[in-house]
A and B are shown apart, each in its own frame.
Chain A
Amino acid sequence: MAEKEPVIGIDLGTTNSVVATVQGGAPVVIRNRTGSNLTPSVVAVSKTGKRLVGQIAKRQAITNPQDTVYACKRLIGRKFSSQQVQDALKVLSYQVVCGEHDDIRVKLGGKDISLPEISAMVLRELKADADQYFGRPVTRAVITVPAYFNDGQRQATKDAGRIAGLDVLRIVNEPTAAALAYGFGKTVNGKITVFDLGGGTFDVSVLEVGNGVFDVIATGGDTYLGGEDFDNRVIEWLVMGFAKEHGIDLRKDRMALQRLKDAAEKAKIELSTVKETQINLPFICTPPGGGAALHLQKALTREKLEELCSDLVERCITHCDQVLAEAKVKPGDLKEMILVGGMTRMPRVVEAVKKYFKRDPCKGVHPDEVVALGAAVQADALTSEESHVLLLDVTPQSLGVAIAGGYVRRLIPKNTTVPTSVTELFNTSKDEQTTVKIMVLQGEAELAHQNELLGEFILTGLRSAKRGEVEIEVTFEINSEGIVSVSARDKETGQKQSITVTASGGLTEDELQKILEEQGDYMLEARASDELKNKRAELDAVMKEVGDLLPKVQKVTEGSEFGVDAVAKAVKGLESARRAREQGNLAAVSEAVDTLNRTLNLFRGVIQRIGTR
């Protein structure tokens, strides 16, 4: 029996991403190359022109702010002109420009790059870790997104997966994935809440779970509240203390700030398990007038950290209040509470949540891995014949049309299983109205303008009559591919107009194809570069060995014709190897390796035969 093709689940987070798979029936996290479960969702081009992804990109984020892209999840699939994007631009250190279709492009390494491409770099890194884990390429994945993501944002995430060389089986809501990781689809029926405090965002969702269907009743939160805000409080405290002591503002020095950020995050994490930690940053800065570099050494207690961040925890609870009110549930009505995100390890956060929800959170799964593990469970269920988990594709948000008065009439509510079709009759709203404009909207807001406009068309040639007399039949259809078709038919005349709406992540199909081709070239280059790197290392080793043996051979063959000839050839070989190494040509390096290997074998033989006499 052929081995099952591996499939992975990916939590593509704002700050960190995680990849997981199901092995032997249990979901497990795949560690990245640095041995960590979390891969920062950061992409950069270093000053030396190297493309960096993950931890290494994060480490230089402050010293190289213009060429480091982070939190692109906040922007992906959105329109450049949207209010959310305009708000985000105020706090981003990298440059964002408007694309051809009001989409977003990021300036990175002197090039304009679309956001799906940026996300694809992170996904490719995760895929590479998975490839390494399985020992063969992985091509299929389930990716999670926040519950509030619209079709455009989901499509952009799918595009990112495609660019990264992944066939995205399904896009899953993060709270749903978290619930799945606990097996709630089978064991729990009722309302549960997911409290997700990540690195950069805070989401709280209320889900109705029943018979394998996960319905997100309400979701809310703050896209600008997360672990980084807690880190910043620690940084502030350190900076103030240092300024008081030495009169130097460390924030002005990028290197110092980078170290402070790393140290603050580390200290915060440590304080989740210990009561006090030492922050030790030797040679943090050189005084302006010169002299010996100064050290920053400080002890931070859990108590102090909680004092510094108390208002942030309060903000989380306020959002919980709002979401529960929206879902019309009380904390006591909830059957389970799941904590997601590394920040929920902080004892003060756990305490506050317990106090508010009046129950202990679910235990057993690491909060920063739970979403990826749920995604892996879903991925496994989708590809496994034995799986008993029923998984349905549902519409993430409601679909409807704009009606008189600026309101929305919803035809397909959110979480409707696809494929689906709905038809509804509408009437003209004015006397003598001969045309009608159909505006297709997506979203949950009551007012039309607060929803996402997917497309519009006009149906003409209606009979001139009093208002309400002419009937128009509007049909919404979503096929299994998620493509929405909307048609309007004059019932009297049978005249019909229609529109097909395909979710767009900001890239056209042509653009996507072009990126995929370029990506192929890049992958080839990357492979060639890896090969060259390996060959160079091989060459270095053999050059060293030949170089070490050369004097010995010279000595033992002194005076002989063979010796003179062999040594001269070896010297020449070393010289051309050095040149080949510098040129960086793979063929030349390989040839040099072969040549020197022959010389090495010869030398070893000479030493063995003559040298031991």
Chain B
Amino acid sequence: MSAQRASQLVEAGLWLRLSGDHEGAKRLFEQALKLDPTNARARQLLDSPPPAPQQAGAVSNLDWGLATGHTPTPPPVGKSTPTPPPITKSSSTRPFGEGPPAGTHTVRLGEAEAPAIPDVPRFEDPHGEVMITGGDDDAPADNSTLVFGLSGVPVPPSASAGSLPQTGTLVFGGAAARGQGNAPPQVAPAGGGTLVFGNDRSAPPQVAPVAPASTLVFGNTRDAPLQAASAEPGGGTLVFGSGKETVAPETSPVAGPASSTLVFGAPGQSTPPPIAPVGESSTLQFGTLAREQNQVTTDPGLPPFAIDEEPPVEEAPPVKSSSTLQFNFDDMVPGSAASPRAPSAPPEEPQTAWETSNPRIDISQLDLDTPGEGAGFDLISSPAPAPKPRSPAQLREEVATLLSGAKDLLDLDDHSGAMELINKALELDPTDAAALKLKDRSERTLQAMFESKLGDLMVTPRVKLKDDEIIWLNLDHRAGFVLAQIDGSVSFEDLFAVSGMSRLDTARILAQLVEEGVISKG
């Protein structure tokens, strides 16, 4: 019973974390661990840091229902999967904090709204590496790790993963710190090339190093990552767009010589595309794959993808904006033509402190099934997805879970966190009596709390800062409106009346302004 309760708390905590209330989430994870000390997920979430603040807004709009863990994480690739070789000194993947090895650069493109980059880095691959030209260092290293996107920190080395000469790894975007998502890409060993564009939420692609296999992942793989099966030499895998829910790879098929798999768009939650076809066949998937598969099988006679000795592309694609990434497929060439394909390693637990605190950005939950401009690629600017229909039983279960979490938070006196969960529950079922009752209770308590911070409501507050100081505050337009009404002639009580917002919202804003020293209590 307590284990079940703990699980519910973990779920509720995840809601909170997504909505940006990391403190509330932490409390729930701690509560879950108290109830069930063996709850590994709770421990892991507690240990793992919340995602970067910029993400909160975007993530909060996501359809969590499809990613709450109802779908099991795909099993690791067969037991025979070889352990990735240890990191060797020749690898340019480096622990965080260390200086970059000679000849390599770690590039991070923008944290939020990256402006257009005037000087697009040029990619060259003279020795089976992905590098940026123009570096002022010598470039003797055989391997490079480039991390593009929002993670904010360079990709760390994986203790278990090693890089061998002739290996290149590029990660565009970031992976979220959830589930197994902390594990960085397992760097392909000898000759293997791995490119991950976008985000792999739960677990990043585990591309086992079997030379000369190449794997490119564009966009997002959601809960279930791309687990490239052991591939024979010459195999290539590309995933464009988003794998949603389950992209359970075929673990058994083995990519035969020169086999290629291309998945464009967003595989849906049902049958995943076979990623590693056997033999000469190539699979290309374009667009959105929701529930049914859109498979376009290419002519078996086509040559395998990206196994060229010399990559034809030298220039990186220009980044137009942070919200729209446009890739020229021709430019995206895996690291080494000679990389042999290797069986993928199972996702591993975080090994280092860095790994557990890697704030990986997760945009993988964006619903790429939504048709629209640039679907599958216009990841960040995609409109918010329409809520998926749920069965009444599912709804009840979710509401119950949320309310249970809310009650726990209320017991812990975290009314703000509780309100988040209650509001979420009411979004699912606006008529739920228990939720409405809890909301009322919470609102009253919160209101009393905020009002007590204000003191006598008949007092006339005053702005303490000058106009040129105010503009440096971090306020939203609602707080700005309330602040504009404070002119030394209206009391707190009057402000409740003129704000045009609910009394609770106004009290919250006023309490915040008082707390931050923007206004005085009389």
Residue numbers of A with Cβ under 8 A of B are 34-35, 46-48, 50, 52, 55-56, 59-60, 63-64, 253-256, 258-259, 262, 280-286, 289-293, 295, 533, 537, 540
Q: Name the distance in Å between A235's Cβ and chain B's nearest Cβ.
A: 15
Q: Name the distance in Å between B502's Cβ and chain A's nearest Cβ.
A: 7
Chain A residues whose C-beta falls within 8 Å of the C-beta of B397 in the assembled complex: none
Q: Which of B478, B481, B483, B503 contacts A48 (CB 8 A)?
A: B503
The answer to whether B476 touches A35, judged by C-beta atoms less than 8 angstroms apart, is: no
Chain A residues whose C-beta falls within 8 Å of the C-beta of B483 in the assembled complex: 282-283
The answer to whether A60 touches B497, judged by C-beta atoms less than 8 angstroms apart, is: yes
Residue B57 interfacial (CB < 8 Å): yes
Chain B residues whose C-beta falls within 8 Å of the C-beta of A262 in the assembled complex: 484
CB<8 Å pairs between A and B, sample of 19: A46-B496, A46-B498, A47-B501, A56-B498, A60-B498, A254-B500, A255-B481, A280-B467, A282-B471, A282-B483, A283-B483, A284-B477, A286-B476, A289-B381, A291-B112, A293-B475, A293-B480, A537-B456, A540-B456
The answer to whether B497 touches A46, judged by C-beta atoms less than 8 angstroms apart, is: yes
User: Main SS of the interface on chain A?
Assistant: mixed
The answer to whether B480 touches A34, judged by C-beta atoms less than 8 angstroms apart, is: no
**9 further contact pairs, Cβ within 8 A, besides A283-B481, A283-B483, A295-B471:** A46-B496, A47-B500, A47-B501, A56-B490, A56-B494, A282-B467, A283-B473, A283-B476, A537-B456
Chain A residues whose C-beta falls within 8 Å of the C-beta of B484 in the assembled complex: 259, 262, 281
Chain B residues whose C-beta falls within 8 Å of the C-beta of A60 in the assembled complex: 497-500
Chain A residues whose C-beta falls within 8 Å of the C-beta of B458 in the assembled complex: 533, 537
Q: Which of B479, B480, B483 has the most CB of A within 10 A?
A: B480
Q: Which of A47, A286, A295 has the most CB of B within 10 A?
A: A47
Chain B residues whose C-beta falls within 8 Å of the C-beta of A259 in the assembled complex: 480-481, 484
Chain A residues whose C-beta falls within 8 Å of the C-beta of B498 in the assembled complex: 46, 52, 56, 59-60, 63
Alpha-carbon gap, A30 to B293, bound state (A)? 79
Residue B120 interfacial (CB < 8 Å): no
Q: Which of B58, B485, B498 has the most CB of A within 10 A?
A: B498
Chain A residues whose C-beta falls within 8 Å of the C-beta of B58 in the assembled complex: 290
Chain B residues whose C-beta falls within 8 Å of the C-beta of A34 in the assembled complex: 489
Shortest Cβ distance from B497 into A: residue? A46
Shortest Cβ distance from B481 into A: residue? A255
Shortest Cβ distance from B485 into A: residue? A59
Alpha-carbon gap, A254 to B501, bound state (A)? 11
Alpha-carbon gap, A409 to B470, bound state (A)? 68
The answer to whether A55 touches B477, judged by C-beta atoms less than 8 angstroms apart, is: no
Shortest Cβ distance from B57 into A: residue? A290
The answer to whether B477 touches A256, judged by C-beta atoms less than 8 angstroms apart, is: yes
The answer to whether A63 touches B500, judged by C-beta atoms less than 8 angstroms apart, is: yes
Q: Please report which residues of chain B, range 443-497, place their CB below 8 angstroms from some CB of chain A when the two chains form the complex.
A: 456, 458, 467, 470-471, 473-481, 483-485, 489-490, 494, 496-497
Shortest Cβ distance from A253 into B: residue? B477
Alpha-carbon gap, A255 to B501, bound state (A)? 10
Chain A residues whose C-beta falls within 8 Å of the C-beta of B499 in the assembled complex: 60, 63
Alpha-carbon gap, A60 to B473, bound state (A)? 24
Q: Name the distance in Å between A232's Cβ and chain B's nearest Cβ.
A: 19
Alpha-carbon gap, A282 to B478, bound state (A)? 11
The answer to whether A64 touches B476, judged by C-beta atoms less than 8 angstroms apart, is: no
Alpha-carbon gap, A258 to B497, bound state (A)? 14
The answer to whether B477 touches A286, judged by C-beta atoms less than 8 angstroms apart, is: yes
Q: Return the CB mask of B488-522 against A: 1 if under 8 Å, else 0.
A: 01100010111111110000000000000000000
The answer to whether B477 touches A285, judged by C-beta atoms less than 8 angstroms apart, is: yes
The answer to whether B480 touches A47, judged by C-beta atoms less than 8 angstroms apart, is: no
Chain B residues whose C-beta falls within 8 Å of the C-beta of A295 in the assembled complex: 471
Q: Name the distance in Å between B422's Cβ and chain A's nearest Cβ.
A: 21
Chain A residues whose C-beta falls within 8 Å of the C-beta of B474 in the assembled complex: 292
Q: Name the distance in Å between B447's Cβ and chain A's nearest Cβ.
A: 11
Chain A residues whose C-beta falls within 8 Å of the C-beta of B501 in the assembled complex: 47
Q: Which of B475, B478, B500, B503 contacts A64 (CB 8 A)?
A: B500
Chain B residues whose C-beta falls within 8 Å of the C-beta of A286 in the assembled complex: 476-477
Q: Which of B479, B485, B489 contacts A35 (CB 8 A)?
A: B489
Chain A residues whose C-beta falls within 8 Å of the C-beta of B470 in the assembled complex: 282
The answer to whether A283 touches B489, judged by C-beta atoms less than 8 angstroms apart, is: no
The answer to whether B57 touches A283, judged by C-beta atoms less than 8 angstroms apart, is: no
Q: Name the distance in Å between A45's Cβ and chain B's nearest Cβ.
A: 9
Q: Name the distance in Å between A38's Cβ and chain B's nearest Cβ.
A: 13
Q: Which of A47, A280, A283, A537 contacts B477 (CB 8 A)?
A: A283
Alpha-carbon gap, A50 to B113, bound state (A)? 44
Alpha-carbon gap, A258 to B471, bound state (A)? 19
Q: Name the distance in Å between B465's Cβ and chain A's nearest Cβ.
A: 10
Chain B residues whose C-beta falls within 8 Å of the C-beta of A533 in the assembled complex: 458
Chain B residues whose C-beta falls within 8 Å of the C-beta of A46 in the assembled complex: 496-498
Alpha-carbon gap, A17 to B357, bound state (A)? 64
Q: Which of A281, A283, A286 has the most CB of B within 10 A?
A: A283
Chain A residues whose C-beta falls within 8 Å of the C-beta of B473 in the assembled complex: 282-283
Chain A residues whose C-beta falls within 8 Å of the C-beta of B494 in the assembled complex: 56
Chain A residues whose C-beta falls within 8 Å of the C-beta of B503 in the assembled complex: 48
Shortest Cβ distance from A256 into B: residue? B477
Q: Name the distance in Å between B507's Cβ and chain A's nearest Cβ.
A: 11
Alpha-carbon gap, A63 to B501, bound state (A)? 9
Chain B residues whose C-beta falls within 8 Å of the C-beta of A35 in the assembled complex: 489
User: Which 7 interchain pairs have the tightest Cβ spacing?
Assistant: A283-B480, A63-B500, A46-B497, A60-B498, A255-B481, A59-B498, A34-B489
Q: Which of A47, A56, A258, A540 contacts B502 (CB 8 A)?
A: A47
Alpha-carbon gap, A406 to B113, bound state (A)? 75
Q: Name the distance in Å between B97's Cβ and chain A's nearest Cβ.
A: 31
Chain B residues whose C-beta falls within 8 Å of the C-beta of A55 in the assembled complex: 489
The answer to whether B497 touches A56, judged by C-beta atoms less than 8 angstroms apart, is: yes
The answer to whether B497 touches A48, judged by C-beta atoms less than 8 angstroms apart, is: yes
Shortest Cβ distance from A534 into B: residue? B458
Alpha-carbon gap, A537 to B457, bound state (A)? 9
Alpha-carbon gap, A286 to B470, bound state (A)? 16
Chain A residues whose C-beta falls within 8 Å of the C-beta of B456 in the assembled complex: 537, 540
Chain B residues whose C-beta falls within 8 Å of the C-beta of A289 in the assembled complex: 381
Q: Name the distance in Å between B113's Cβ and chain A's nearest Cβ.
A: 8
Chain A residues whose C-beta falls within 8 Å of the C-beta of B471 in the assembled complex: 282, 295
Alpha-carbon gap, A258 to B481, bound state (A)? 9
Alpha-carbon gap, A533 to B493, bound state (A)? 11
Shortest Cβ distance from A295 into B: residue? B471
The answer to whether A293 touches B500, judged by C-beta atoms less than 8 angstroms apart, is: no
Shortest Cβ distance from B448 into A: residue? A582
Chain B residues whose C-beta falls within 8 Å of the C-beta of A540 in the assembled complex: 456
Alpha-carbon gap, A46 to B506, bound state (A)? 13
Shortest Cβ distance from A51 into B: residue? B497
Shortest Cβ distance from B381 into A: residue? A289
Alpha-carbon gap, A540 to B455, bound state (A)? 9
Alpha-carbon gap, A50 to B499, bound state (A)? 13
Chain B residues whose C-beta falls within 8 Å of the C-beta of A291 in the assembled complex: 112-113
Q: Name the distance in Å between B469's Cβ and chain A's nearest Cβ.
A: 10
Q: Name the distance in Å between A589's Cβ and chain B's nearest Cβ.
A: 15
Chain B residues whose C-beta falls within 8 Å of the C-beta of A256 in the assembled complex: 477, 481
Q: Name the distance in Å between B505's Cβ and chain A's nearest Cβ.
A: 11
Chain A residues whose C-beta falls within 8 Å of the C-beta of B113 in the assembled complex: 291
The answer to whether A284 touches B480, judged by C-beta atoms less than 8 angstroms apart, is: yes
Chain A residues whose C-beta falls within 8 Å of the C-beta of B490 in the assembled complex: 56, 59
Alpha-carbon gap, A83 to B86, bound state (A)? 90
Alpha-carbon gap, A46 to B495, bound state (A)? 11
Alpha-carbon gap, A64 to B497, bound state (A)? 10
Chain B residues whose C-beta falls within 8 Å of the C-beta of A282 in the assembled complex: 467, 470-471, 473, 475, 480, 483
Alpha-carbon gap, A280 to B470, bound state (A)? 11
Alpha-carbon gap, A295 to B467, bound state (A)? 11
Q: Name the distance in Å between A492's Cβ and chain B's nearest Cβ.
A: 69
The answer to whether A255 touches B496, judged by C-beta atoms less than 8 angstroms apart, is: no
Q: Which of B57, B467, B477, B502 contacts A293 (CB 8 A)?
A: B477
Shortest Cβ distance from B480 into A: residue? A283
Q: Which of A34, A258, A281, A293 has the most CB of B within 10 A?
A: A293
Q: Which of B112, B381, B475, B496 contacts A283 (CB 8 A)?
A: B475
Chain B residues whose C-beta falls within 8 Å of the C-beta of A290 in the assembled complex: 57-58
Q: Name the distance in Å between B58's Cβ and chain A's nearest Cβ.
A: 8
The answer to whether A283 touches B467, judged by C-beta atoms less than 8 angstroms apart, is: no
